[in-house]
Amino acid sequence: MIWSEDNMDLKNLDNIKIPEELNGLKEKLYRDEMNSKAKKFRYSYIAATLAFIFVLGMAFPKYTKDLPLYNNIFELFGDGNYQSASEHIDEEVVSNGVSIRLVDAVYSNNEVSLTTIIKMKEPIGENVALSSDLAIKNFNILGMTGNSGVKYMGNGIYISESKMNIDFKEHKSKKFAEKADKIKVKYKIDGIFNYETKKEIKGNWKFDIELENLKSDVHVLNNKQEQNGIYLNIDRIEIDDVGTNFKISWWNDLKLDAMINQVDDIYLVDTNGNSFKLEQKGIWGNKDIVNSEAKFSKKIDTDQDYILKCTMRKSDIIGYNEQGKIEKYEIKDRRVYEKIPNVIEFEIPVNLKK
């Protein structure tokens, strides 16, 4: 059979599962204490895979440039909903002999998420992280929280996923902008380092992209609940192609710093009793009120009722200072603080029926 674009669905190429280290599979088979039939089957599988890659490279060289194929990085990090909603960027920057390709990006609510492919001749191990910075043109950002991950795929190739939740506060043309519909993002990576071996590669990888916010179904709420003088409120729920985003806030009427209480876990419970843990997006605020966001990886059914369950814990510890000593919040009336339970469970009804 002759391979051609007519008899091969190129859209499914990203779904091909190719072994991560083909060169090492043969040696592993010799060490495998399997029966001879199993060995024969696995050798046949390797031969078939290698033959397919050879034919694919002959017919479509552009698809073998980055084998194994990593055009579905969000999915490889368990975020398939981000993958389907993302915009394909495919921009490469080479610095200090290392190539970083910005593959996909998505702007959902106040969150910017990015994926990259990193290539280097001499890998620096598996426990790797990126030193990066994100800025947005024409916007002043009050704060930013987020997380990132890097996976080593073998043969000097790494993939990464980064999620940054942005607190927009001021726009040059407006006094206040909670969310921007379109943003110009400057994403900079200046280092790749192994936090165990301390090996580091410095460079200058810069990307300038423009992203539009995903269209969302917005529900402004004021679902407030009080316990022991502590208030927790669901401010807003936004539903888009990435999932469902919950914006919450909490404060107290005890003349205590609002930061003494922190939400540990957030779950969404449906009418059947199914419980789903939400991904927390960090916190920001001041002594009067604290804001936070949590994301559910699916669209909720607006015709169904839910309960948002939040576990809140109290602590007067801020953290460690530069001298390594513990810093604490100033509490004028210690007796009021001690009366607050160490753990408070909130259960707030969620009803979006119009």
Q: Distances in Å between the alpha carbon of 264 and those of 145, 178, 260, 277, 285?
A: 16, 25, 12, 11, 16
Three-class SS state of 329: coil
pLDDT at residue 169 in the model: 63
pLDDT single digits (tens) 71-97:
799 999 999 999 999 999 999 999 999
- State which amino acid sits at residue 172: K
pLDDT at residue 20 in the model: 44
pLDDT single digits (tens) 208-260:
999 999 999 999 998 999 999 999 999 999 999 999 999 999 999 999 999 99
Three-class SS state of 142: strand
pLDDT at residue 180 in the model: 76
Average pLDDT over residues 22-51: 38
pLDDT at residue 178 in the model: 58
pLDDT at residue 26 in the model: 38
Cβ contact 125:196 at 8 Å: yes
Tell which wins on pLDDT, 162 or 27. 162
pLDDT single digits (tens) 164-199:
988 776 544 443 345 678 999 999 999 999 999 999
Average pLDDT over residues 3-24: 41
| Helix residue ranges per DSSP H, the chain | 22-31, 36-59, 73-76, 80-85, 334-339
Separation CA 249–CA 73 (nearest Å): 33
Q: Which of 166, 164, 162, 131 is nearest to 149 (CA)?
A: 162
pLDDT at residue 54 in the model: 37
- Domains in the chain, start-ordered, CATH in brackets? 1-70 (no CATH), 86-212 (2.60.40.1630), 217-351 (2.60.40.1640)
| Helix residue ranges per DSSP H, 79-229 | 80-85
DSSP H or E segment with residue 226:
strand 217-227
Torsion, CA 108, CA 182, CA 150, CA 81, rounded to 10: 30
DSSP state of 332: S
pLDDT at residue 132 in the model: 94
Three-class SS state of 242: coil
Please name the residue that has the structure tokens 């449906």: 270
What is the average pLDDT value for the chain, to the nearest integer? Answer: 82
DSSP 105-167: EEEETTEEEEEEEEE-SS---SSEEEEEEEEETTEEEEEEEEEEEEEEEETTEEEEEEEEEEE
pLDDT at residue 312 in the model: 97
Residue 129: pLDDT above 90?
Answer: yes
pLDDT single digits (tens) 135-173:
888 877 767 778 899 999 999 999 999 999 887 765 444
Q: Please give the backbone phi and psi of residue 56, each rounded to the nearest 5 degrees, phi first.
A: -60, -40
Characterize 217-231 residue by residue with b for buried, 16 or more Cβ atoms within 10 angstroms of its Cβ, and e for exposed: eebebeeebeeeebb
Three-class SS state of 44: helix
Q: Distances in Å between the alpha carbon of 193 and those of 86, 125, 152, 176, 203?
A: 27, 9, 13, 38, 11
Kindly indicate the confidence band of residue 69, based on its pLDDT and cuts at 50, 70 and 90: low
Tokens of 158: 């790494």
pLDDT single digits (tens) 303-342:
999 999 999 999 999 888 888 889 999 898 999 999 999 9
pLDDT single digits (tens) 292-305:
999 999 999 999 99
